[in-house]
């Protein structure tokens, strides 16, 4: 049933799924609220989603609020077909790690997902290939779905090493990940220079990197996994550019920061995908 709805969504927008695609991919809208919003502001934003959209049908919506607001939001969205995740976790199972959040605690608070390897974490908190991989493994073992972020810096893009950087990030994060685990992983390609800057990768450039990622996954796993996995684009996505971003065949959704913090733009993005 979902498969059919997905095909209709694509056809309405004149975006046909490639024939060789083993499985059409359901679009995802992920909202990363970062270190923003009070509890009341988060509540109001969630209320406006529920009042205006109800439960999404044609797309998957995943909210990444502050850790502190997760239980309150998880309760509100229960049964509404909306996912909720932490913006990070710690890779150890539990114990004396003051200030950290464990995977089992995210699950216990109602999380379905977790964001791992966001460029802000890699940059400000020195997450590296090894810690990102450990976090992915911990999240999966706790039953969370992982949204893995990858992307190059402006310097790397200007030095023409985007492909190498992104493939390295993917290969290192996928160490010891099984074919079965891949059912619970999506990838967000976020060129660092496009995050929060108002600059957006051209849809062609973004689509090119998405193809590289899909090809790398085909090489690491197999063709079916590469064709099934959702690869999102992130970096200054807004209501006035989502159409051109989503028009690219290999872009299966969007990870949105700034524009997901305001009711109007968030609803507009959701309406477009749903």
Task: Show the site string, 159-198: x = touches ligand PEP by CB under 6 A, - = not.
Answer: -------------------------------x----xx--
For residue 62, state whether it binds ligand PEP (rule: CB under 6 A): no
Task: Give min distance, CB of 124 to ligand PEP, in A.
Answer: 12
Could you tell me which stretch among 39-47, 176-184, 228-236, 263-271 binds ligand PEP (CB under 6 A)?
A: 228-236
Task: Give min distance, CB of 94 to ligand PEP, in A.
Answer: 28
For residue 257, state whether it binds ligand PEP (rule: CB under 6 A): yes
Could you tell me which stretch among 36-44, 208-216, 217-225, 256-264 binds ligand PEP (CB under 6 A)?
A: 256-264
Q: Is 190 a catalytic residue?
A: yes
Catalytic residue among 60, 156, 190, 248: 190
The 3-class SS string of the chain reads CHHHHHHHHHHHCCCCCCCCCCCCCCCEEEEECCCCCCHHHHHHHHHHHHHHHCCCCCCEEEEECCHHHHHHHHHHHCCCCEEEEECCCCCCCCCCCCCCCCHHHHHHCCCCEEEECCHHHHHHCCCCHHHHHHHHHHHHHCCCEEEEEECCCHHHHHCCCHHHHHHHHHHHHCCCCCCHHHHHEEEEECCHHHCCCCCCCCHHHHHHHHHHHHHHHHHHCCHHHHHHCCEEEECCCCCCCHHHHHCCCCCCEEEECHHHCCHHHHHHHHHHHC
Catalytic residue among 118, 127, 152, 248: 118
Could you tell me which stretch among 68-76, 105-113, 216-224, 250-258 binds ligand PEP (CB under 6 A)?
A: 250-258
Q: Is 210 a catalytic residue?
A: no
Known catalytic residues? 118, 190
Binding site for ligand PEP (CB under 6 A): 32, 190, 195-196, 234-237, 255-259
């Amino acid at each position: 049933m979902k498969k059919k709805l997905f095909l209709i969504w694509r056809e309405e927008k004149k975006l046909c799924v490639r024939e060789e695609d083993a499985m059409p991919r359901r679009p995802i809208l992920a909202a990363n609220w970062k270190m923003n919003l009070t509890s009341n502001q988060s509540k109001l934003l969630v209320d406006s989603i529920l009042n205006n959209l109800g439960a999404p049908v044609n797309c998957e919506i995943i909210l990444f609020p502050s850790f502190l607001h997760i239980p309150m939001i998880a309760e509100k969205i229960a049964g509404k077909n909306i996912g909720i995740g932490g913006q990070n976790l710690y890779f150890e199972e539990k114990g004396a790690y003051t200030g950290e959040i464990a995977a089992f605690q995210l699950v216990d608070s109602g999380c379905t997902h977790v964001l791992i390897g966001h460029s802000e974490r890699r940059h400000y908190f020195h997450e590296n290939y090894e810690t990102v991989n450990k976090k992915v493994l911990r999240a999966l073992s706790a039953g969370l779905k992982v949204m893995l972020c990858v992307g190059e810096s402006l310097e790397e893009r200007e030095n023409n090493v985007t492909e190498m950087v992104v493939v390295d990030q993917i290969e290192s994060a996928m160490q010891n990940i099984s074919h079965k685990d891949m059912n619970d992983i999506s990838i967000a390609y976020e060129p660092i220079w496009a995050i929060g800057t108002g600059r957006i990768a051209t849809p062609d450039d973004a689509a090119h990197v998405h193809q590289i990622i899909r090809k790398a996954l085909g090489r690491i796993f197999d063709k079916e996994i590469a064709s099934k996995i959702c690869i999102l684009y992130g970096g200054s996505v807004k209501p006035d550019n989502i159409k051109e971003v989503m028009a690219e065949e290999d872009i299966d959704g969007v990870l949105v920061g700034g524009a997901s913090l305001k009711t109007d733009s968030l609803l507009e993005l959701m309406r477009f995908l749903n």
